[in-house]
C-alpha cells in the first residue's frame, strides 16, 4: 500500500488574512490560541476548553478562538459558561477561509482524539504558527521530528501545560516554526505529483509484466 501525502501551497503563508483579533474585539497585546475544526466529538474541543480553564490565572492575557461549526456547539457553549470562560474562549463559527484566521495567532492547538492527516496543521506550518497537537492518526507523521509539541488525547492538564510551555518560551517557538518550515518540503504539490506518478509507474510495470 502506498501512502501519498496531501499538498500545501507555500504561498498560503503570504495571502492576506482576516484579522481575527479585531473581529473578536481582542487586545493585540495579548496572546491568541487558535483551533480550527468541525465542532464534532472526534475533534474533542471539550478537552481544549478545559485546558483553557487551567491557564486563566497563569496566562491572563491569553484568549482562545475556536473556528468551526457543528452539532456540539451548544455543548461547548455550556461548558465555556460553566467554567466562567465566556470572555476568554470564543466560538467564532464557520469562516469562508478558516485557515486565514491563522494570521496573528500565537499557537495552533489541535485536541482531536482521532485525525487523518490534519490539513489545518499544514496551514499552520505554512503560516509559521507553532503547534501543540494530540498524538493521534497521521499527526506525528505530519509534524515529523520536532516540528510541533505532542500530547496524549483527552488530557486537559497535559494540553494546558504544553501550551503554557510554548507561549512562555520564544526560543522554542522559533525552533518549532523553523523545523515546520523544513517539514513542509515533504508536502509540496510537486512532491505529491511525483508520488502519484510513482504509483502509476509501478502499476504499469505490474500489468505489462516487465
Residue 176 within a domain: yes
H or E element in which residue 31 lies? strand 31-36
Residue 109 within a domain: yes
Residue 49 within a domain: yes
Q: Residue 17 in 3-state DSSP? A: coil
Kindly tell me the sign of the dihedral angle through the C-alpha atoms of 27, 31, 33, 34. Answer: positive
Residue 182 within a domain: yes
- pLDDT for the residue 114: 94
Residue 10 within a domain: no
Cell of 198: 510513482
Residue 67 within a domain: yes
pLDDT in tens, 50-64: 999 999 999 999 999
Residue 20: domain span: 16-208
- pLDDT for the residue 133: 97
Residue 51 within a domain: yes
Residue 5 within a domain: no
Contact partners, residue 168, CB within 8 Å, separation at least 6: none
Q: What predicted TM-score, i.e. pTM, was given to this entire model?
A: 0.84
CATH no. for residue 189? 3.40.50.2000
- pLDDT for the residue 202: 56
User: Cα 48 vs. chain centroid, distance in angstroms?
Assistant: 12
Q: Which residues pair with 36 in a beta bridge?
A: 67
- pLDDT for the residue 147: 94
The segments of the chain whose pLDDT lies below 70 read 1-18, 188-210
Q: What is the domain count for the chain?
A: 1
Amino acid at each position: 500500500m502506498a501512502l501519498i501525502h496531501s499538498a500545501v501551497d507555500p504561498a498560503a503563508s503570504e495571502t492576506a488574512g482576516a484579522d481575527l483579533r479585531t473581529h473578536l474585539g481582542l487586545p493585540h497585546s495579548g496572546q491568541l490560541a487558535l483551533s480550527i475544526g468541525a465542532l464534532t466529538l472526534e475533534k474533542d474541543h471539550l478537552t481544549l476548553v478545559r485546558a483553557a480553564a487551567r491557564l486563566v490565572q497563569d496566562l491572563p492575557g491569553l484568549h482562545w478562538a475556536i473556528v468551526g461549526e457543528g452539532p456540539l456547539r451548544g455543548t461547548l457553549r455550556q461548558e465555556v459558561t460553566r467554567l466562567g470562560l465566556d470572555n476568554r474562549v470564543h466560538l467564532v463559527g464557520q469562516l469562508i477561509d478558516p485557515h486565514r484566521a491563522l494570521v496573528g495567532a500565537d499557537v495552533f492547538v489541535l485536541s482531536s482524539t482521532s485525525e487523518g492527516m490534519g490539513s489545518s496543521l499544514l496551514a499552520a506550518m505554512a503560516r509559521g504558527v507553532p503547534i501543540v497537537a494530540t498524538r493521534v492518526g497521521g499527526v506525528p507523521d505530519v509534524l515529523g521530528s520536532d516540528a510541533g509539541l505532542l500530547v496524549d488525547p483527552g488530557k486537559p492538564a497535559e494540553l494546558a501545560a504544553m501550551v503554557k510551555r510554548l507561549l512562555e518560551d520564544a526560543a522554542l517557538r522559533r525552533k518549532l516554526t523553523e523545523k515546520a518550515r523544513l517539514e513542509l518540503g515533504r508536502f509540496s504539490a510537486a512532491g505529491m505529483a511525483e508520488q502519484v506518478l510513482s504509483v502509476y509507474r509501478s502499476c504499469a510495470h505490474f500489468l505489462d509484466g516487465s
